Amino acid sequence: MKPSAKSTVAEIRARFDHDVERFSRLETGQVATVDAAHCLDLVARAAAAAAPCAKSVLDLGCGAGNYSLKVREQVPGARFTLVDLSRPMLDRAAERLGPSVAATVQGDLRTLDFAPESFCVIVAAAVLHHLRTPAEWEAVFASCLRWLKPGGSMWIFDLVAHEDPAVQRLMWASYGRYLEGLGGADYREKVFAYVEREDTPTSLTYQLGVMQGVGFSRLDVLHKHSCFAAFGGFRPRP
């Protein structure tokens, strides 16, 4: 499917506007994501290990707040800026995080504008796969680097593609079997259909290369299983 045929921002927003209850529970909201609970924990622990005294966290595509809640367990004093396309998702995340919320921003991550060096940590779970072009990937990673304080880190968990077509087919078939185990062939086809319609995942190696190219350092892969990966990097200190 060509990028022009993908869901629009408005269509993606509408889908998430009507799915708040499901995404408020990890066991239902992320059921189609391989190792979701494990990677949520890994991302939170990596963020805390990298910045144990983090005061400011940016959650891109925060959804109903699952990742921010987990990071807060590891860094109790952190304050969170929550970003999402969906106002109902933002409202639910803010309700769950309470006084830990510094700000909520409804909008597309491609058009965000924060002051340089605003955040100790950035987390982005299941959001970057909505980017469509190399220019968008580069611009978003460059913005995230600029928003981080020197020594700050960004941690990602997302759907990824694979460089080799044969490996992509192998991993996609493996993911299909995982989905069938959850809900049968109909569920597999339902998930595959919305991935085809909404998502434009790129490979883990591509994303790490873009991060390095815009200036991230000390890149690390926390976990890779089938078509999902958890990884991150740091803004260098002067």
Domain that holds residue 39: 3-163+200-234
Domain presence at residue 222: yes
**What pLDDT does 51 receive?**
85
Residue 20 lies in a domain: yes
- Percent of the chain at pLDDT exceeding 70: 92
The two beta strands, 148-159 and 228-234, are antiparallel
Q: Is residue 184 part of a domain?
A: no
φ/ψ of residue 211, rounded to 5:
-60, -45
Q: pLDDT confidence of 3, banded at 50, 70, 90? A: very low
Does the pLDDT value for residue 4 go beyond 80? Answer: no
Q: Is residue 186 part of a domain?
A: no
Q: Could you tell me how far CA 209 lies from the centroid of its own chain?
A: 17
| CA atoms of 156 and 44, how far apart (whole Å) | 10
Question: Tell me, what CATH number does 98's domain have?
Answer: 3.40.50.150
Q: Measure the CA–CA gap between 81 and 68, rounded to whole angstroms.
A: 9
What is the average pLDDT value for the chain, to the nearest integer? 91
Distance CA 213, CA 141 (A): 9
The predicted model scores a pTM of 0.92
Residue 152 resides in a domain: yes
**134 inside domain:** yes
Domains held by the chain: number: 1
